[in-house]
Amino acid sequence: MNIAIFIYYFMSIAYAPLTYIIPNKHNIPKNKLSLSIFSTMVVTAVAVFFISSFNICFTFAGCMIILCFFSINKMTSVVFAFAAFVCKIVMDYIFFTLIRKQFAITEAQLINDAKYTIPFYTALTIIFLIISFLLAKLHFKFLQTALASDKKAILSIGVFVFICLALFLFNIKYEAKKHFPDALVRYNSIIFFVFFSVATIFIIIFLRMLLQIEQLKYRNLQYEQLQDYTRKTEELYNEIRTFKHEYLNKLLTLHFYISDGDISRLKDYYESSVLPTKRQLENDFQAFSDLGNITAPGLKGLVYNKLIRAQESGAQVHIEIKEKTEIPSAEEITELAGIYLDNAIDEVMTVQKQQPKNITVAIFRNANLLTVLVSNTLASPLPPLDKIDSVGFSTRGTGRGMGLYIAENILKRNPHIEHHTYIKNGMFYQELKINHDGKEA
Amino acid sequence: MQIPVYICDDILELTEQYKKIIESTITMEEYPMTVAGCFTTPKQLIDAVRKHTAQGIDYGIYFLDIDLACDTDGFSLAKRIREIDSRGFIIFITTHGNLAVETFRQQIEAMDFILKDDFDLLRQRIKECLKIAYERRSAVKQNQIISLSDKNRQIFYNENDILYITAAKKPHHIIIFTTDGQDIFRGSLNNIKENLSNSFVLCHRSYIVNKNHIKSVDFVRKEILLSNRTVIPVSSNGLSSVSS
């Protein structure tokens, strides 16, 4: 046994974690990284000691390392580890056969003769390194697509890849056991591999198409929301015009009472007709007038739509956007605001009847720093803040609690968006800060 | 030295009403404050503040309207006040439509907002604001303000308001529990401990507790009951430092 083989084994185990580590390198703490490298070494040593070259053990070990140390994004990492595994088996097979055929070396020589071992295994290691880097790049690209946020899509791709893999392995093992001719085994494997790859690509394309349809629906919804908003604005304008007219009439009446010196009737009239207009000034829709200052139509529609429902069900809604504000990274901000607003509305609905139910959305800019803030009244004291963004945390029973986890993933992909959560005076705050030029703060 | 209280609204009658309320509160509660004047334009107010600063009075209490019927609105006025007086207390008295609570709180650290809509509530809220300003001033004098910053955010805490501080599950983060909420920051318990006064003790590996908020200590179950009824753990080492 020499160092080349050890490195080769090490790579066999490490390439699965590598496909995970490279695209996520910004989010992985150093201690986790060194721990995983260390454990890979240990696993390699054990594997080398027992020399069982059966590939699945290595991949299994690699996947376990991912799961143990990087418990976020389990699904995608396992899918990519498996993909790495498929590539490794195929490469292994092709390489072994090629070398043996070309140089007329036996398998025993490859393993035991140092003259062949060193160049052969070094070459293999380099090839695996290249493969894992390519896969990592693919993984990184994948993480940036819409597919990545869809759990079901990832699960179905994962299951499919797993089944393909099982069939592929079974085919090779079975044919070898039944002593099929070498050429036939090779031929079958290649056909299987091509078929599976093509099928996987088609599934991904199909899922993408589905997602695009979803997005189109979402766009339409946004458009409808915007139209709703415009209609309301027009209504409000008309209302104000009527009010102005009434107001002049009332002033005139007041004037006559005063010039007559009829204080008691003046008082009556003031209390019965003038004072109630205060309520008209606090018109419900006025809460939304600041929305006109958002330039991003998606965000405008979203805030409007969510808050008008909240208002209909009895919440006090307050929006403050005092200046015309352009929103950088509007898509991400909209998605995050949607999640925070959903949570705010859900929470406020559980507040007891007589208690205040406030929801505030504020967007403002301080020099180059844009702040987007969503806050709501809390129904009951929250557990410590660091618990709420984990998967499945919910104040509303099991089966919920995906929202903040998704939000956390969006934030991880967008390190330039700064996020703060806090509780103050019985209000729960979600705050996003982003540099206006879009660069990292 | 008495703290000047400034009032600014474009309607003179209103400023005089506010003045009445403020003066009666000051006399009743014996606050060391005096009404520096009622102003109808931002310029007058700024001039007055400048004059007082020249006399060595370094901060004041400001009651401002937002819509001032001239080019400078209450918001820019507040910003200009902040340039001269970074520690003063700014309170807005305004109508519903002009309300921008969060914007002002963050950008100029406005202390409070009072709505003009309800006249009875207005009187009560002005009183409350004066009380809070007075109490905070005392805290500043005793040097009990601690500031924490995290990326683009800076928060000031009055030490008396902090119940306890704990290490968060997220690495290198701490959670601060105050009497009115909680907040999460990047930082370590050891670093923050150095900035706190000696009424804070490390009662557990991952808990710093404010001794002033301890209601009782359960020596058997190794728990501390705090004034807001939360229970936090205490280690054997912590027990001795807590009881001393």
One-letter amino acid at B135 equals: E
**Chain-centre distance of CA A310, in angstroms?**
25
Predicted TM-score (pTM) of the model is: 0.62
User: Does the CB of A280 have a partner CB in chain B at under 8 Å?
Assistant: no
One-letter amino acid at A53 equals: S
- pLDDT, one tens digit per residue, over B27-50 is 998 888 889 888 888 888 888 888
Tell me how close the Cα of B82 comes to any Cα of chain A, in angstroms. 14
In the predicted model, is pLDDT for residue A64 greater than 70? Answer: no
Sheet holding B181-186, edge to edge: A316-320, A358-366, A369-377, A427-435, A417-424, B181-186, B173-178, B162-167, B207-210, B200-204
Distance, in Å, from the CA atom of B14 to the CA atom of B93, rounded to the nearest integer, reads 10
Are B151 and A418 a contacting pair at CB < 8 A? yes
Are A320 and B101 a contacting pair at CB < 8 A? yes
In the predicted model, is pLDDT for residue B151 greater than 50? Answer: yes
The residue ranking higher by pLDDT, B177 or A55, is B177
Mean pLDDT of B80-101: 81
ipTM of the modeled complex: 0.77
Tell me how close the Cα of B6 comes to any Cα of chain A, in angstroms. 25
A–B interface: beta-carbon pairs under 8 A:
83
Nearest 5°: CA angle at B64, between B59 and B69? 135
In the predicted model, is pLDDT for residue A60 greater than 70? Answer: no
Mean pLDDT of B12-19: 89
Distance, in Å, from the CA atom of B44 to the CA atom of A80, rounded to the nearest integer, reads 69
Sheet holding B231-233, edge to edge: B214-218, B223-226, B231-233
The residue ranking higher by pLDDT, A226 or A269, is A269
The residue ranking higher by pLDDT, A44 or B102, is B102
Chain B hits for A369, Cβ within 8 Å:
152
Is residue A57 very low, low, confident or very high in pLDDT (cuts 50, 70, 90)?
Answer: low
How far CA B72 is from CA of B10, B12, B244, in Å, comes to 11, 17, 56
Q: Which of B97, B175, B181 sits opposite A386 (nearest CB)?
A: B175
User: Does the CB of A12 have a partner CB in chain B at under 8 Å?
Assistant: no
User: Does the CB of B117 have a partner CB in chain A at under 8 Å?
Assistant: yes
The number of beta carbons lying within 10 Å of the beta carbon of residue A407 is 22
User: Does the CB of B101 have a partner CB in chain A at under 8 Å?
Assistant: yes
User: Does the CB of A418 have a partner CB in chain B at under 8 Å?
Assistant: yes
Distance, in Å, from the CA atom of A113 to the CA atom of A118, rounded to the nearest integer, reads 9
By C-alpha distance, the chain A residue nearest B117 is: A278
Residue with tokens 């490490």: A14
Question: Which among A63, A51, A70 has a CA at the least distance from the CA of A8?
Answer: A51
In the predicted model, is pLDDT for residue B225 greater than 80? Answer: yes
How far CA A341 is from CA of A322, A327, A332, A346, in Å, comes to 20, 17, 14, 8
Distance, in Å, from the CA atom of A93 to the CA atom of A316, rounded to the nearest integer, reads 67
The number of beta carbons lying within 10 Å of the beta carbon of residue A184 is 10
**Chain-centre distance of CA A288, in angstroms?**
29
Tell me how close the Cα of B153 comes to any Cα of chain A, in angstroms. 9
Least confident of A141-155, A242-256, B88-102, B108-122: A141-155
By C-alpha distance, the chain A residue nearest B166 is: A384
- pLDDT, one tens digit per residue, over B92-143 is 988 766 677 777 777 777 888 888 877 778 888 899 999 988 888 777 666 6
Are A371 and B106 a contacting pair at CB < 8 A? yes
Are A420 and B75 a contacting pair at CB < 8 A? no
| Under 8 Å between Cβ of A385 and B184 | yes
Are B181 and A320 a contacting pair at CB < 8 A? no
Chain B hits for A375, Cβ within 8 Å:
102
In the predicted model, is pLDDT for residue A439 greater than 60? Answer: no
Tell me how close the Cα of B55 comes to any Cα of chain A, in angstroms. 32
User: Does the CB of A400 have a partner CB in chain B at under 8 Å?
Assistant: no
By C-alpha distance, the chain B residue nearest A431 is: B153
**Chain-centre distance of CA A207, in angstroms?**
17
Chain A hits for B96, Cβ within 8 Å:
281-282, 286
Q: What is the model's pLDDT at position A230?
A: 81
Question: Which among A75, A227, A219 has a CA at the least distance from the CA of A161?
Answer: A75
Q: What is the model's pLDDT at position A148?
A: 58
In the predicted model, is pLDDT for residue A250 greater than 70? Answer: yes
- pLDDT, one tens digit per residue, over A12-38 is 667 666 766 776 666 666 677 777 777
Distance, in Å, from the CA atom of A284 to the CA atom of A317, rounded to the nearest integer, reads 9
One-letter amino acid at B103 equals: T
Pairing of strands B112-115, B89-94: parallel
Determine the residue among A283, A285, A322 to mutate to test chain B binding: the one whose Cβ has the most chain B Cβ atoms within 10 Å: A322
Tell me how close the Cα of A322 comes to any Cα of chain B, in angstroms. 8
Backbone φ and ψ for A74, nearest 5 degrees, come out as -50, -50
Are B152 and A441 a contacting pair at CB < 8 A? yes
Chain A hits for B175, Cβ within 8 Å:
384-386
Helix, strand or coil, per DSSP, at residue A423: strand
User: Does the CB of B166 have a partner CB in chain A at under 8 Å?
Assistant: yes
User: Does the CB of A191 have a partner CB in chain B at under 8 Å?
Assistant: no
